[in-house]
Structure 1
């Protein structure tokens, strides 16, 4: 079951690129789809407890950790790009070192989060501003859930490493194990043993560590010929650590900006009233649905672009970019068409509240347009992550946020919620235009490959 090491191809043509793009993307899309299933089970299990504070506490606590752990998603992205390039060069030692270094970095950050958890939880729950009863339950959830921080971050590193080597099916396996174990333990602890918020949190902690054990087992099985000189290199490779930290540092800033953009959207929606807030929450589920497919192809792009750059295969790089563009636009077009044709029916599935349905329907046009307008941003992120050029991602994200998103929101306030959606869409388009400009310039100059890349080309 565990993947063996195989030397990457030295050249990839257009038809091969299209095939590999889909072969890598579909397990990633399926693994993305498994994520909301866990949320549904958590809601259903806790929602049947006698007091609503339990459901509110789990919701509030889960929201806190979604933002906290998402902020460290750079551990997956940075590991994917660097590993893909090392794999493309056929540099087995570098591939091994990257796994060890990413895991050590994840462990260090995870332990730091545990050490800081009293302050992080207090600040986070204060910002989320729940009722005293709900906040008390959320604190119970958070104090238990924080124990899984090293496992969650290490799983990010493992998933990024496997993806960089082109094994997206392992990602699917790990996600299925995590969510299946989590769901079964939810039922055991809450329904079977009579636990409440603490049972849901404990289920997540156990599932995260079992997933980590599985991922490490697969990695060790794949590399059962490890030798001490290679393992020792994990600790004394200062240059490798500097590059890993440089890549991840820029991705961290970029992710914080993206988190702020979503948090700002939620906060401004809330200021427009409870019905508006609820309608926006429903419509953001459409954005989430579209992201499952677009993210799948973006992640596949990270792996294939990194491998082509590592192999110094410029025609293959261009073939991968074209294949990624074709698949991404097809997925975006299908998503927009589905939202256009059955958007009102989907809203009805998501809420029974007539006022929320009507309001969400009045803003539906924004999420119909979103996939087509956002597809380029997902695609370009995948290209730049695979090419390990995160500074361009960071700089264009900051520019889009402060030069487009916030000014457009300020000017469009008289339009109410339409103005808020306009600002959010403008932010998305600005990300695509700015990063696309950087990409196009590099494409025309042929500067995606450095002299070092060409010298390192595998024989």
Structure 2
């Protein structure tokens, strides 16, 4: 059980890590929101193509989160135990993994982009738009993964400022480049993909430079990479649960109508953006919980967990109020298509109401990830997907419930996850002490 006497850390320390992490987490989805707004004014068809292409590209980052979150968990424990050099070397090995996996995905993606997009969309026009965007955007895959690994080891050693600079450099440049390529240059949807590749290349190169300046041993160590992959196995399976849900949702939306998939894209990107905003305090939890457990202080780890849970709830409630107030204004920033705007309310109010729930869920996800409790998170996510999200999504297709059915499924998914993580947090069994979780 959580003890009222558990140690806490100063709020300044939590937010000293959380605020820069917010910039890092928000930069990519904020860029995607800019991208969505730029492409949205091309019309419903390019927006639908971006929706499907973006979901497929997101498989890269969401399916391979162990390169970021798993690396943070391992490096934070070593850093807390006073073994910083070993912590940085974890980042080196994660970067080697990132490059190897990234080039494999790039090659396979070029071959599979068309058949996968066609299977999802059921519409040749949407398929053509999605494939055109995706084949270009996939060229940034190796550097997407290098950036994830870089964020992971830097968070673990409690360096939150440099990742913010690196990610903002890439995404800031591309946010300016995207509308220029799409409109004055005349590249249309493909211009947005080129800008995406520029962002990932610039950010990834900066993280590679940071590792070089650490003077760490750069030689690959298969034993360390294998240990990372063992932790990654559970996180990959967890990510598969997310992907089964969100790919199913995109597929059902695409088979509902072009306008429905466009509206789903806008609200989903807002959901992704706010999810990462809520996750910013959880990033601080990953670093602080891992360091406390590495230093042998389970009591301090439990105290941090209680703080992060409270902060997540407060932030989620604030976002709920803000986006309820913006319901009549904000959708028009992303599209002027009347059909897409007409579909938007079917998802919007679910998105708004879920923010307080998401605040607690994402905060406790961060706590458990920092503790390396990946097996539990895997089981909780898969159970929530199988019992909640997936049945309602496919029932929505069969019964014609549209976006209301899809977002009802997401709501049940989040509520089930809330129950699982609250029970686990209250048990305290996640707080295993030591430089390496066994």
TM band (smaller chain): 0.7 to 0.9
TM-score by length of structure 2 reads 0.84
Which string of whole-angstrom CA distances, capped at 9 and with x for unpartnered residues, describes residues 310-357 of structure 1?
111223212211221121111011011223334333345445456655
Structure 2 counterpart of 1:403: 387
Whole-angstrom CA distance in 1 between matches of 2:380 and 2:231: 15
The aligned residue for residue 215 of structure 1 is 207
Counterpart among 302, 316, 332 of residue 318 in structure 1: 302
Change (3 A) 1:151 1:369: same
What is the aligned counterpart of 1:14 among 1, 8, 24?
8
Matches within 5 A, 1:276-315: 276-315=260-299
Aligned match of 1:435: 421
Q: Report the Cα distance in structure 2 between the residues aligned to 1:269 and 1:196, rounded to whole angstroms.
A: 24
* Kept after mapping to 2: 8 A contact 1:81/1:164: yes
**In structure 2, how many angstroms separate the alpha carbons of the residues matched to 1:363 and 1:199?**
29
SS of the equivalent of 2:19 reads helix
Moved more, 306-315 or 407-416: 407-416
Do the aligned partners of 1:247 and 1:389 also contact (CA within 8 Å) in 2? no
Say if 1:30 and 1:59 are closer, same or farther in 2 by CA, change over 3 A. same
Alpha-carbon spacing, 1:306–1:292, altered in 2? closer, same or farther (3 Å) = same
Of 294-303 and 417-426, more deviation after overlay is shown by 417-426
Contact 1:121-1:139 within 8 A present in 2 as well: yes
Corresponding residue of 1:421? 407
Aligned partners of 1:200 and 1:275: how far apart in 2?
21
Contact map agreement 2:286 2:370 (CA 8 A) in 1: yes
Matched, 1:149 2:141: yes
Which residue number corresponds to residue 227 of structure 2? 243
Give the alignment of 1:268-417 within 5 angstroms.
268-273=252-257, 276-352=260-336, 357=341, 360-361=344-345, 364-407=348-391, 416-417=401-402
Q: Partners of 1:217 and 1:155 in 2: how far apart?
A: 11
Structure 1 counterpart SS, 2:368: helix
Larger Rg over CA atoms: 1
Q: 1:142 to 1:366 in 2, by over 3 A?
A: closer
Q: How many residues align?
A: 431
SS of the residue corresponding to residue 448 of structure 1 reads coil
Q: Using a 3 Å threshold, how does the CA distance of structure 1 residues 422 and 399 change in structure 2: closer, same or farther? A: same
- TM superposition shift of 1:393: 0.8
Distance apart, 1:281 and its partner CA: 4.2
CA distance in structure 2 between the aligned counterparts of 1:57 and 1:274, rounded to whole angstroms: 10
Q: Is 1:98–2:90 an aligned residue pair?
A: yes
Q: Could you tell me which of 417, 432, 437 is aligned with 1:449?
A: 432
